[in-house]
Structure 1
Amino acid sequence: MCYQLSSCAFIPRAISVQLSTNQTSFKSDRAQRVDHLTKIPRSVNMESLQNGYLFPEIFMRECLYAKRNPHARLIRLGIGDTTEPIPDIITSAMAKQALALSTAQGYKGYGPEQGNRELKRAIAETFYQDMQVKENEIFVSDGAQCDISRVQMLLDDSLSIAVQDPTFPAYIDSSIIVGRGGRFKAESGKYKKIVYMKCGAENNFFPNLSTTPRTDLIFFCSPNNPTGSAASQQQLKQLVEFAKANGSIIIYDAAYAAYISDESPRSIFEIPGAKEVAIEISSFSKFAGFTGVRLGWTVVPEELLYANGYPMIKDYDRIVCTCFNGASNIVQAGGLACLTPQGFQALKRTMRYYMENAKILVDTFKSVGLKVYGGKNGPYVWVQFPGLSSWQVFDQILERAAIVTVPGTGFGPAGEGYIRLSAFGHRECVLEASRRLTKLL
């Protein structure tokens, strides 16, 4: 459905982007209202996060628009949150597991921190056929974003990192929090210690590795959020060879892999030798509609070794057992139902629905002569507006078409001049958005 703007009580989930912040005002407010201070200094790493939040900024602009236009019907194509119902074969499995907890025979307490063995086997068989990924290398979790932070704990905070530009901000923020980012440089929109690998249309959304300096860690997302592009077999082969030559580790985010429709790899482990240099993180959120249910997994191969030969999987297992009590057994029952033949077929229908939405949006922008990317192997559409800033485009589309998008600059300096639209919407909203955009543009 589309949304009537009667109030602004809902605050969307936040991701970070550099915005202007008023530190003087913050200090003044604090001085007026605080009666006691501890002697604990603030973390210098948290102080390095001198940035605001993208979605609260978007939310604020929505609210201002709503006050001026109380009867407008807003279409939200910004945040990448799923909207279609979860198939009942999956929710029934979760309901059955929940009801069983009220019986002596069906009650279960703690499960293995690493995840239900049956679910781990199903993940291996569904997503890693012929890749020699073992059950014990799969760690079931409460979602990919949590696993990004757990992987950060696994690796020393002195290690250097590289990210795609544009990129999903959690890689940068979690790196800064553990001390790898350095200070923010306002003139460039970048953090001092982070290598930004430009991935634009001019290089097919894949970094020029011949000019990329060596780093210890390489964060890489395919299909990419925000651009929707998927790396090819040859490109990932180059990436694995680059990591091997430099003794680096790839942190590979495959959260959107189930949406790939061509021959692009769905896992980094399709590339020979990748198990020696890569960790893969994935999620049920986007292909199964589990954004609010929370379930994901991480693969740490036995072949992945520290410089001294010690297996990283042993340390990751220790981190998981220390910081996590395991995913909910109710949710894991739902995950297992997702990977049955009937459950997965039902999910494929939902994924096709979202990708049909993406095609509608892609065709809309192409029809007015704009350059548009994505929408083929991922549920995001990445549109270029030459000569305009991302926030200018965002404001114009909001003010004149009542559509919420995401300014590309929120994903890094290379996103300037672009906007991202999510295909995770109801069909009637996407069609209405298409009509409005065609009229506007």
Structure 2
Amino acid sequence: MSLENHHPLTSISSSTSGFLGQNKLSIRTQNLSIPAKNSGISRCIATPTLEKNEAYKTKVSRNANMAKLQAGYLFPEVARRTEAHKLKYPNAKVISLGIGDTTEPIPEIITSAMAKRSYTLSTIKGYTGYGAEQGEKQLRSAIASTFYANLGIEANDIFVSDGAKSDISRLQVLFGSNVTMAVQDPSYPAYVDSSVIMGQTGQFQTRVEKYENIEYMKCTPENGFFPDLSTVSPTNIIFFCSPNNPTGFAASREQLTKLVQFAKDNGSIIVYDSAYALYMSDDNPRSIFEIPGAKEVAIETSSYSKYAGFTGVRLGWTVVPKELLFSDGFPVAKDFNRIVCTSFNGASNIAQAGGLACLSPDGLKAMQEVVGFYRENTNIIMETFNSLGFKVYGGKNAPYVWVHSPGQSSWDVFGEILEKTHVVTTPGSGFGPGGEGFIRVSAFGHRNDVLEACERFKQFYK
């Protein structure tokens, strides 16, 4: 099904260059008469003069790497265009199936544990201040036994954090600016943007829509959304997300075995993002550490955000196995521990109480129910686009539907859908050049909103 017959929404400029110009600073020239020492002569000293409309500037140079970043970060840009649409259509009911933000209430078995911990802080006996930067021992042990049982991962290998996204940036600080990096294309944009900010890349190449010095591992329907590793140039770091955001693809055991061997052959470190592992509906690995030898070449990040609705609560973790060593034999975990202790005072003790409750038998059951709800939303969206004749991917192992719209700019398709249906999606090109020609539709939404959005799609594309 082609979208070519519909008129795209005119793109909206993302320039913020006028920000500093909003506060004008004007200083009049003043001549100050200051008596000279041991002399009857007065000297005139002029104060600095600024033109009427010239803003004061410091002498601090801007980080040149920030200037390499293209436009706005994907999700704030989607939000900005959505707000502009709401101003244009103030009476429209705008439904968001764009940003992957959860919508359903956190199960009470979890919130009650957070409430109890919160009230305990108001007592002398129950009050606690700073905790261990790596996380509370009981929670680290529970994560190890729940998600990494029989995989050789221990509590001391786990660093509890305020979310996987934060840990991605901390890992980039750990690696420094002199490493090379590979990333799935398309993939979560934080991997690339954090690499740019750290100075690991060259300039953005507009013609191919890629940064210099990043190895883009193309993932398409033609290769089953798993890169042809025989064509991938070796790099120091490999970012890999499974189930993938945005395509929804989950790598098989055989494919991850090839990835681990590829890393070993080239001396690389894999940063494996398993934020959607609980959505897996088949027998694909939930963790990279299910693959023999992975502890020697991999780090794994994960999060409670999409498992338990903790997008606002903020809680995640990163696994750095003791077996993972730098080229000089120094343990990676020791340096990451130093980064964590320098930049972070530990996750909220209230959030950690909720995280621990999630891993109780009742908490795990409650989380599975939440995940099951979003799976049902995903099926509704998949069925809708399939019925309209689109080529649709993902959905089975992740809460994202990857819809193909060949021959059109994905930002144009995003704008067209927003303009005609008042539904927010996410343009595929925001996830990398390999995402051009696709849109991502998120299953995170209230059921009535998902059903209404799908009815609007049907009316528009019928």
TM range (shorter): over 0.9
Q: Kindly indicate whether residue 123 of structure 2 is the aligned counterpart of residue 103 of structure 1.
A: yes
Alignment of 1:145-156 (within 5 A): 145-156=165-176
Aligned CA distance change for structure 1 residues 300 and 33 (closer, same or farther; 3 Å): farther
Verify: 1:112 aligned to 2:132, yes or no: yes
1:260–1:378 contact (8 Å) kept in structure 2: yes
Report the CA distance between 1:25 and its aligned residue: 6.1
Among 243, 262, 266, the alignment partner of 1:246 is: 266
Displacement of 1:21 after TM fit?
A: 5.7
Query: What is the rounded CA distance, in whole Å, between the counterparts of 1:191 and 1:141 in structure 2?
Result: 29
In the alignment, the residues of structure 1 paired with residue 149 and residue 59 of structure 2 have an alpha-carbon distance, to the nearest angstrom, of 55
Offset at residue 60 of structure 1 (A): 3.6
Which residue is 2:438 aligned to? 418
The 5-angstrom pairing of residues 211-226 of structure 1 reads 211-226=231-246
Decide whether aligned partners of structure 1 residues 226 and 33 sit closer, same or farther in structure 2, where only a CA change above 3 A counts. farther
Deviation at 1:356, TM superposition (A): 0.4
Q: Counterpart in 1 of 2:143?
A: 123
The answer to whether the Cα contact below 8 Å between 1:19 and 1:52 also exists between their aligned partners in 2 is no
From 174, 180, 189, the equivalent of 2:209 is 189
Give the deviation of 1:69 after TM superposition: 2.5
Q: Describe how 1:364-379 pairs up with structure 2 within 5 A.
A: 364-379=384-399
Equivalence for 2:303: 283
CA distance in 1 between partners of 2:428 and 2:215 (Å): 19
- Residues 404/336 of structure 1: CA separation in 2 closer, same or farther (3 Å cut): same
2:135·2:347 contact (CA, 8 Å) conserved in 1? Answer: yes
CA distance in 2, matches of 1:425, 1:22: 30
Q: Residues 19 and 53 of structure 1 are in contact (CA less than 8 Å); yes or no, is this contact kept in structure 2?
A: no
Give the Å deviation of 1:153: 1.2
Q: 1:21 to 1:68 in 2, by over 3 A?
A: closer
Q: Kindly indicate whether the alpha-carbon contact (under 8 Å) linking 1:19 and 1:51 is maintained by their aligned counterparts in 2.
A: no
Could you list the runs of 5+ residues in structure 2 that have no partner in the other structure? 1-10, 25-51
Alignment match, 1:389: 409
Tell me if structure 2 keeps the 8 A contact 1:172–1:181. no
Is the Cα–Cα contact under 8 Å of residues 159 and 217 in structure 1 kept in the other structure?
A: yes
Name the structure 2 match of 1:42.
Answer: 62
Q: Note closer, same or farther for the CA distance 1:165–1:88 as it changes in structure 2 (3 Å cut).
A: same
Task: Give the match for residue 78 of structure 2.
Answer: 58
Tell me whether 39-48 or 325-334 shows the greater mean CA deviation: 39-48
1:335 aligns with 2:355: yes
Residue correspondence of structure 1 range 4-15 to structure 2 within 5 A: none
Report the alpha carbon displacement of residue 129 of structure 1 after superposing the two structures with TM: 1.1
The structural deviation recorded for 1:34 is 5.1
SS in 2 for 1:439: helix
Which residue, out of 248, 257, 282, partners 2:277? Answer: 257
Q: Could you state the TM-score of these two structures normalised by the residue count of structure 1?
A: 0.93
Q: CA-atom RMSD, angstroms?
A: 1.8
Match of 1:199 in 2: 219
The residue type equivalent to 1:423 in the other structure is A
After superposition, what is the alpha-carbon deviation per residue over 1:144-163, rounded to whole angstroms, capped at 9, x for unaligned?
Answer: 01100111111131110000
d(CA) in 1 for partners of 2:17 and 2:60?
21
Q: Secondary structure at the match of 1:72?
A: coil
Partner of 1:316, secondary structure, is helix
How far does the alpha carbon of each residue in 1:73-119 deviate from its partner, in whole angstroms, 9 at most, with x for none? 11110010000000111100000001001111111111111111110
- Structure-2 residue corresponding to 1:177: 197
Number of the residue aligned with 1:79 = 99
Q: CA deviation at 1:29?
A: 6.8
What is the letter of the counterpart of residue 377 of structure 1? N
Structure 2 counterpart of 1:307: 327
Which of these residues, 138, 142, 147, is aligned with residue 162 of structure 2? 142
What SS does the corresponding residue of 2:190 show, helix, strand or coil?
A: helix
Q: Distance in 2 between matches of 1:71 and 1:36?
A: 42
Q: Which runs of 5+ in 1 are unaligned?
A: 1-17
Letter in 1 for 2:449: C
Please tell me whether the aligned partners of residues 20 and 52 of structure 1 are also in contact (alpha carbons under 8 angstroms).
Answer: no
Aligned to 2:28: none
| Cα distance in 2, alignment partners of residues 188 and 214 from structure 1 | 20
Kindly state the Cα deviation for residue 130 of structure 1 after the two structures are TM-superposed: 1.2
Which segment drifts farther, 42-51 or 297-306? 42-51
Quick check: 316-325 or 233-242, which moved more?
A: 316-325
DSSP 3-state at the match of 2:231? coil
**What is the CA deviation profile of residues 366-419 of structure 1, one whole-angstrom value per residue up to 9, with x for unaligned ones?**
011111111111101100012222122112211111111011011011111100
TM-score by length of 2: 0.89
Instruction: Give how far 1:256 is off.
Output: 0.7
Task: Provide the identity percentage.
Answer: 60
Letter in 1 for 2:65: N
Alignment partners' CA distance in 2, 1:27 and 1:343: 49
Contact 2:74 2:189 in 1 (8 A): no
The correspondence for 2:373, drawn from 353, 356, 365, is 353
Counterpart of 2:7?
Answer: none
Contact 1:275-1:304 within 8 A present in 2 as well:
yes
Given residue 427 of structure 2, which amino acid in structure 1 is its aligned partner?
A: P
Measure how far apart 1:22 and its partner are.
Answer: 5.0
Corresponding position of 1:407: 427
Distance change in 2, residues 1:351/1:38 (3 Å):
same
Note the alpha carbon deviations across 1:110-140, whole angstroms, 9 max, x for none.
1111111110111011100110101100000
Are the aligned partners of 2:357 and 2:363 in contact in 1 as well (CA < 8 Å)?
yes
Indicate the residue corresponding to 2:40 in structure 1.
none
SS at match of 1:282: strand
Paired positions, count: 424
Q: CA deviation at 1:64?
A: 3.6
1:405-434 C-alpha deviation (Å, 9 max, x unpaired): 011011011111100011010000111111
